[in-house]
Amino acid sequence: MSWRSSFRCSKFRHIFGKPATKEHSYDGVPITLSVHDNHYCSANPCFIAVVTECAGGGSFLVLPIHHTGRVDPQHPRVCGHSGRVLDVKWNPFDDYCIASCSEDCTVKIWDIPICGVQQNLTKARKTLIGHSRRVGLIEWHPTAENLLLSAAYDYKVSANHITLWSKWVPFIFIKRNSHCFCFALLLSVSFNSDGSRLAVTSKDRQVRVLDPRTGKILQVSSSNSHKANKVLYIVGLKLLLSTGSSPWNHRQIVLWDPDDLSEPLYEEDLDGSAGVLFPFYDPDTHMLYLAGKGDGNIRYYELSAEKPYISYLTEYRSLLPQKGLGVMPKRGLDVSACEIFRFYRLIAIKDLVEPLSMIVPRKESGIFQEDLYPMTAGNQAAMTAQEWLLGVNKGPVLMSLKPETRVANPYPETPGEKGMVRQLSSLRFQRSPAAVTEIGQEFVEEVKCDLVILSYILLQAFYKQQDEIRGLKEELHQKDVSSQRVHYQKFLSDTFYIFVFSCSADENCSAGAGYQKHQKEHEGDLLIQTLLCRRSLRDPQTAELSSTDWTLWWKPRLLFSYSS
């Protein structure tokens, strides 16, 4: 019988969390006070969106990803909702399109200009109206283009299909394709890799697997030892993970077989905290991250398809609790620093959004690490929404994170608007209605893709220059401080100390005479003082001081006093 070690070797055992400095964080962001169990943050390689607190409606802030540091309190916002915003999600195939849901029972699709939000954005590309109560969840389809799922407090889940009616004019109408009614309020949703299955958790704390096209319930969990809160498909391992609580109110994680939810495959109690556990999974590295709402720590695990299924690695700890977290897609990570995951922690008590990078230390970090960055899901849609609704299932289009590498799309190009032409044409949504009418269709036809790409490159260079200018200003400030220190030292080298006792001052000395005159004008207790007198070392004869000069140049320093 061969010996087998009980310890599992992992290339991620030395992973650590590296928080960004305050200069590279987003300070002064008024994070929402909502108690809904959502992330309130969404990020992509171009922008970061954060739900903010405001009076008289709902709004969220959209910042360029390099716009770090102190955020202007009057920074323009996206403020078209009449109720509090509950969730925001970027389109995975369009970095300039974002969806938001609100307490005003609507879902809105927004076009963000390529240069960012320069003034308050109130006109949405489209408003989706299909719910009678507040909308709490939205989720984009992982492979189909322009397919959005929304769930509301009316126990109704809607799959809203965004359809183009003209390939030149960017106006869009919405066609509601399907509804599925649930008997409990949904708490979380998760698609599998090709979007053919949908896992949900509801207020009855059960896990369900649905067919998103028809709304048919395929599997329901029947375990009484786990009250599920959040659910997540473990892509690539044919597993389903849920977080929740045990009958003893301990926070718990459970692994399921998505084809059989009768019994869990794995259960583990974590702690007795009350905050909701947010699960995040990286299908490329099979890494699982658990972050608790109201906690300052994030746990790391490595998953496998065989028992024991889950292996604990380590934990990141912070004294500042997080209200929510956003995640950067893999295509926005810094591969030169061996960064495999990045969080954006919302620290409400500090009005701070703190980037947190997960780093795997390597000796040669400058070389592309192929074992850390396999082929990953890109920003191209695998199919159209019509194809998916007809029953077609396709996996995500993969891309390489290696610099200057591009993998061809194995699927044919989807019809409709492609490239970045519409992204630049979305600038018209910042204009007045009269200006929009004058521009019309000719504006879109005149836009060239190379001009858009050039604008994007110039924008990235602008933010890089801003960072360099900030660094140069700090360096100049340090030089000014050192220059003042040298000047002060030179001043001290030209001075000398004269100890004058008030009881035995020499009246013949100009300094002593000046001191006695100054003492007569300001009668008081007899003091022993140290008087700093600046004299010209080259010409001592010019050291005569008037009473005014004495007041300016002689600075008494009280050492101690005694009674006469």
Three-state SS string over 177-226 comes to: EEEEECCCCEEEEEECCCCCCEEEEECCCCEEEECCCCCCEEEECCCCCC
Rounded distance between C-alpha atoms, residue 214 and residue 204, angstroms = 22
- Which residue, 150, 240, 232, is CA-closest to 186? 150
Q: Which residues are CB-contacts of 337 (< 8 A; sequence separation ≥ 6)?
A: 357, 359, 365
In a domain, 532, yes or no: yes
Tell me whether residue 125 is in a domain.
no
Question: What pLDDT is recorded for position 552?
Answer: 42
- What are the contacts of 403-408 at 24+ separation with CB within 8 A? 403/335, 403/368, 407/375, 407/378
Give me the amino acid identity at 412.
P
What's the 3-state SS for 136-156? EEEEECCCECCEEEEEECCCE
Question: What are 250-258's contacts with CB under 8 Å, separation 24+?
Answer: 251/275, 251/277, 251/292, 252/226, 253/277, 253/279, 253/290, 253/310, 254/223, 254/226, 254/228, 255/309, 255/310, 256/207, 256/221, 258/192, 258/197, 258/199, 258/209, 258/219, 258/233
Q: What is the pLDDT of residue 353?
A: 96
**Please, which residues have CB within 8 angstroms of residue 341's CB and are 6 or more apart in sequence?**
280, 282, 287, 289, 327, 328, 333, 357, 358
What gap in Å lies between CA 423 and CA 127, rounded to an integer? Answer: 19
Residue 368 lies in a domain: no
553 domain-assigned: yes
Q: Are 208 and 199 in contact (CB under 8 A)?
A: yes
Q: What is the CA radius of gyration of the chain?
A: 33
φ/ψ of 124, rounded to 5, equals -85, 155
CA neighbours closer than 13 Å in the CB half-sphere of residue 137: 22
pLDDT value of residue 183:
54
Contact 62, 76 (CB under 8 A): no
DSSP 8-state symbol, 21: P
- Dig out the tokens for 83 from the structure: 């109720």
Let me know if residue 451 belongs to a domain.
no
CA angle 289, 293, 295 (to 5 degrees): 80
Range of the domain at 543: 494-561
Nearest to 71 by CA among 49, 87, 88: 49
Residue 471 has what pLDDT?
81
Continuous H helices in 15-149: none
Q: How far apart are CA 67 and CA 117, in angstroms?
A: 12
* Residue position matching structure tokens 């009768």: 262
Residue 154 within any structural domain of the chain: no
Gap between the Cα atoms of 31 and 352, Å rounded = 8
Instruction: Give the chain's domain count.
Output: 1
Note the pLDDT of residue 424: 40
Within 8 A by CB and 6+ apart from 42, the residues are 48, 49, 88, 89, 90, 98, 326
pLDDT at 281: 96
Question: SS3 letters for 393-448?
Answer: CCCCCEECCCCCCCCCCCCCCCCCCCCCHHHHHHHHHHCCHHHHHHHHHHHHHHCC
* Cα angle, residue 125 at apex, residues 123 and 127 outer, rounded to 5°: 85
Identify whether 500 is part of a domain. Answer: yes
Helix or strand holding residue 341 (H, E): strand 339-347
The count of other CB atoms within 10 Å of the CB of residue 241 is 28
In this prediction the pTM is 0.70
Q: Is residue 212 part of a domain?
A: no
Residue 400 pLDDT? 92
Q: Would you write out the chain's pLDDT as a tens digit for each of its 564 residues?
A: 344 444 567 788 889 999 999 999 999 999 999 888 999 999 999 999 999 998 778 899 999 999 999 999 999 999 989 899 999 999 999 999 999 999 998 999 999 998 899 999 999 998 888 788 889 899 999 999 989 998 888 776 665 544 332 222 222 333 334 444 455 678 999 999 999 999 999 888 899 999 988 888 899 998 888 999 999 999 989 999 999 999 888 999 999 999 999 999 999 999 888 889 999 999 999 999 999 999 999 999 999 988 889 999 999 999 999 999 999 999 999 998 999 999 999 999 999 999 999 999 988 777 888 889 999 999 999 999 889 988 999 999 999 998 876 555 555 554 444 444 444 444 433 443 344 334 344 434 444 445 555 665 776 677 778 778 878 888 888 888 888 888 877 777 765 444 444 444 444 444 445 445 545 554 444 443 444 444 443 344 444 444 444 444 444 433 333 333
Give the count of alpha carbons within 13 A of 334, CB side only: 14
